[in-house]
Amino acid sequence: MVKYKSFKIDTDIKGKADVSKVLMIYTGGTLGMVYDQVKKTLVPLKFEEIQKNIPELERFESALDIIPIEPPIDSSNMSPSVWIELATLIAEQYDDYDGFVILHGTDTMAHTASALSFLLENLAKPVILTGAQLPIGVTRTDARENMMTALELAADKVDNETILHEVCIYFNGRLLRGNRAKKYESSQFDAFQSENYPMLAEVGIYCVYNRPYMLPKPEGKFSFSDSLNRNVLVLKLFPGISNAFVKQILATENLEAVVLETYGSGNAPSDNEFLHLLKDASEKGIIIYNVSQCSGGKVRQGDYDTSRGLLNADVISGKDITTEAAVCKLMYLLALGNSITETKRLLQENLRGEVVD
């Protein structure tokens, strides 16, 4: 059992029956940052220090507890060990809450959402990540709307039944499947999109759920994984990439899997030396997973001559998966300790709604 300092917010639930109970976990990110006059950069603050900027929390109509992860971080410092900490924390608190919100920096939010989607199995409750492009203390901040709507979505029930059963990202009016989302904008408020999957809900004056696209309530019992394998890397192709460098990368000690970021619908140079390097690596047991550099569309190995060579090199198609989800899926699957054949089989399965079937 991990020890955390949790605190309760005195929300607007007096006299109300059957209120939902939400746990909000604060990890850091711009939402909770201030400008440090000495360093001349934005740095994360402790939750206690930003709470005074959010009087709205007391008007929330569900019960709310908060757990800050120490220390708060810029999400560029996110790591698999924190993902496991978050999954463990949610698992430990699972029975006590109807929904979970994670306040997180935007830079690696899609990675964390993807990692949690794999670590949490048979999830029957919402886990909603959100953050902001401007700190909560700034007048024009987007933090309040993002946070309050994420809390309301996490608390939402129909006939006393939770509506969402998956890890999502809520940002700027859109609820997205977490393992389908990508950060695509660093200046505007609409930071996230999921080009290959429809929004799960659109939130304006009303919240309109896109029910046919939401994951159904799982039948199995909730469980979680507490290990990830980091022997994974991403190799992004570009015209002129040197075979000598590719050879070095594929010979990296302990390497178990490579996300190969290819062009368009999964195409790569047809150069024999390059294809031999991939084939040799596959024969040595390194899994090569083909993910497109495009945010929309899907890998279709064999459509073009320039992807047929990849089929021969035993490269696995990532179909329409994002790079963020591909990395996390590999980390999760490799940690299960299955044979390479079984890992490759599972890679091609749709485990948590991250790829087309």
Angle, vertex CA 81, rays to CA 322 and CA 171, nearest 5 = 45
**Scanning residues 247 to 306, which ones bind ligand ASP (CB under 6 A)?**
none
> Where in the sequence numbering do the catalytic residues fall?
30
Contact 50, 83 (CB under 8 A): no
Residue of the chain from 62, 106, 149, 229 that contacts ligand ASP (CB under 6 A): 106
Residue of the chain from 30, 112, 149, 267 that contacts ligand ASP (CB under 6 A): 30
Contact 26, 101 (CB under 8 A): no
- Tell me how far apart the alpha carbons of residues 112 and 75 are, in angstroms, rounded to a whole number: 9
Contact 139, 36 (CB under 8 A): no
CB of 156 to ligand ASP, least distance (A): 25
CB of 75 to ligand ASP, least distance (A): 3
- Tell me how far apart the alpha carbons of residues 195 and 209 are, in angstroms, rounded to a whole number: 18
User: Which of 105-113, 143-151, 250-258, 275-283 is the region at the interface with ligand ASP (rule: CB under 6 A)?
Assistant: 105-113
User: Which of 70-78, 243-251, 272-280, 291-299 is the region at the interface with ligand ASP (rule: CB under 6 A)?
Assistant: 70-78
Residue of the chain from 25, 57, 74, 326 that contacts ligand ASP (CB under 6 A): 74
**x/- string (CB under 6 A) for ligand ASP, residues 215-244?**
------------------------------
Residue of the chain from 68, 80, 99, 105 that contacts ligand ASP (CB under 6 A): 105
- Tell me how far apart the alpha carbons of residues 316 and 323 are, in angstroms, rounded to a whole number: 14
Site size for ligand ASP (CB under 6 A): 10
Mode of pairing for the β-strands spanning 223-224 and 120-121: antiparallel
CB of 218 to ligand ASP, least distance (A): 30
Pinpoint the alpha helices (H) of 18-108: 47-50, 80-93
Give whichever of 131 and 266 is closer to ligand ASP, judged by the CB atom. 131
Residue of the chain from 133, 196, 229, 343 that contacts ligand ASP (CB under 6 A): 133
Give whichever of 106 and 172 is closer to ligand ASP, judged by the CB atom. 106
Q: Which of 185, 157, 347 is nearest to 260 (CA)?
A: 347
Residue 59 backbone zone (phi > 0: left; psi -120 to 50: alpha; other: beta): alpha
Contact 256, 231 (CB under 8 A): yes
- Closest chain position to ligand ASP (CB): 105
Residue of the chain from 20, 29, 171, 275 that contacts ligand ASP (CB under 6 A): 29
CB of 190 to ligand ASP, least distance (A): 13
**Using rule CB under 6 A, residue 324 touches ligand ASP:** no
Give whichever of 51 and 106 is closer to ligand ASP, judged by the CB atom. 106
**Scanning residues 75 to 104, which ones bind ligand ASP (CB under 6 A)?**
75-76
**3-state DSSP percent of the chain in helix, strand and coil, to 5:** 30, 25, 45
The long-range contacts involving 299-304, CB below 8 angstroms and separated by at least 24 positions, are 299/262, 299/265, 299/266, 300/265, 300/266, 301/266, 303/265, 303/266, 304/264, 304/265, 304/267
Q: Which residues bind ligand ASP (CB under 6 A)?
A: 29-30, 74-76, 105-107, 131, 133
